[in-house]
Copies of this chain bind each other. A is one copy, B any other.
Amino acid sequence: MSKSYRVAILGATGAVGTELLALLRERNFPLSELTLLASEYSAGKEIQFGTDRLTVKTVQADSFDGIDLVLASAGGSVSKQWAPIAAKAGAVTIDNSSAFRMNPDVPLVVPEVNPEAVTQHQGIIANPNCTTILMSVAVFPLHQVQPIKRIVAATYQSASGAGARAMEEVKHQAQAILNQEPAKAEILPYPLAFNLFLHNSALNAQGYCEEEMKMVNETRKIFSAPELRITATCVRVPVLRAHSEAINLEFDEPFSPEAARQILAKAPGIKLVEDFGKNYFPMPIDASGKDEVLVGRIRQDISHPAGLDLWLCGDQIRKGAALNAVQIAELLIAKNLL
């Protein structure tokens, strides 16, 4: 019989936590024990897991004793506090927050891109930003054939990227607007229903927001390509689930759309969605709940001899967060590292 593992989920009640639970069951993850941990605020909540009803416990110093794997999705400050404690207790933490991503001692892993990086872990492995994961999966297969020199990205990020409550708020806003009442913004900074706005994460001195800088810095780290040049404009749109991205790639030499198409059609984690006859390409409603990043409308960039345009949609809660984390755990198991 193959080995099974004692797993703790830190932050099981959020959007990503909910998806993690679903994926552990769906993928028959070899669990011998499942512990749900959270801050005092969420402790005591009961969550159904298959036929079991699990009670969320308050995370504390001895929570990680005997745990093999921690899947953390409770935010950066929670991870910062507890991942090192879990590591000392001998567990491996796969962390969904941004707390450790740029730490040189912490691997930042997209299994389709840099699976070998997991071997370098010292108790913590970081799961990249959702928008970054989706782009990485879609463009890395091309980068392997011919190094990408520059990326110009524009994103179309769904409300659920700001959390389950933001998604509910957009629905309430939409209903208010349809009723010709004012749309209240409490979770989101501005009304998002029938509107959109630039991603409202903190801006740096150069005017880039954090989300954009994650795409820049995390992609470089995941690709081991510190010289890769990236600019991005991140935008929140009134979509409930799944992010979309318009990606412009520059190479040194021309990269034919047909060659790119053939490479991406065979690449892991990607589904080509291109029907030029029907003008049908990836849409968020088609990407929602899917494991694959949908890629389509691959075009020779007519403004650059070695440019390529492509469009993608992916479920940012699934592949952009929970699925990627579970895949990392599966990778650890496959490599006998758990």
Hey, what's the 0/1 contact readout for A171-194 against B, CB within 8 Å counting as 1?
100110010000000000111011
Residue of B whose beta carbon sits closest to that of A159: B194
Contact A300 B178 (CB under 8 A): no
CA distance A210 to B17 in the complex (A): 43
Contact A198 B299 (CB under 8 A): no
CA distance A152 to B240 in the complex (A): 27
Contact A244 B302 (CB under 8 A): no
Hey, what's the 0/1 contact readout for A298-331 against B, CB within 8 Å counting as 1?
1111111001010100000000000000000000
Task: State the Cβ distance, A147 to closest chain B Cβ, in Å.
Answer: 14
Note all chain B residues with C-beta closer than 8 A to A191: 285
Interface membership of A281, Cβ < 8 A: yes
CA distance A190 to B278 in the complex (A): 12
Contact B196 A297 (CB under 8 A): no
Contact B194 A238 (CB under 8 A): yes
Note all chain B residues with C-beta closer than 8 A to A235: 156, 244, 246
Contact B304 A190 (CB under 8 A): no
Contact B156 A207 (CB under 8 A): no
Interface membership of A229, Cβ < 8 A: yes
CA distance A198 to B196 in the complex (A): 17
Interface membership of A216, Cβ < 8 A: yes
Interface membership of A165, Cβ < 8 A: no
Note all chain B residues with C-beta closer than 8 A to A263: none
Interface membership of A279, Cβ < 8 A: yes
Contact B279 A189 (CB under 8 A): yes
Contact A257 B156 (CB under 8 A): no
Residue of B whose beta carbon sits closest to that of A193: B174
Interface membership of A41, Cβ < 8 A: no
Q: Determine the interface band of chain A, counting residues with CB < 8 A from chain B.
A: 35 or more
Note all chain B residues with C-beta closer than 8 A to A311: 198, 233
Contact A231 B301 (CB under 8 A): yes
CA distance A249 to B329 in the complex (A): 42
Set B237, B276, B299: member contacting A156, Cβ < 8 A: B237
Contact B246 A207 (CB under 8 A): no
Contact A248 B231 (CB under 8 A): yes
- CB within 8 Å of B: which A232-279 residues: 233, 235, 237-240, 244, 246, 248, 257, 276, 279
Set B171, B198, B299: member contacting A297, Cβ < 8 A: B198
Hey, what's the 0/1 contact readout for A150-172 against B, CB within 8 Å counting as 1?
11101010000000000000110
From known contacts A171-B178, A206-B300, A233-B309, infer whether A248 and B285 are also in contact, taking CB-CB under 8 Å. no
Interface membership of A197, Cβ < 8 A: yes
Note all chain B residues with C-beta closer than 8 A to A193: 174
Interface membership of A11, Cβ < 8 A: no
Contact B197 A283 (CB under 8 A): yes
Interface membership of A230, Cβ < 8 A: yes
Ranked nearest first, the 7 interchain pairs of A and B with the lowest CB-CB distance are A154-B154, A229-B303, A233-B246, A207-B299, A154-B246, A231-B303, A152-B152
A contacts, CB < 8 Å to B: 150-152, 154, 156, 170-171, 174-175, 178, 189-191, 193-198, 200, 202-203, 206-209, 216, 229-231, 233, 235, 237-240, 244, 246, 248, 257, 276, 279, 281, 283-285, 297-304, 307, 309, 311
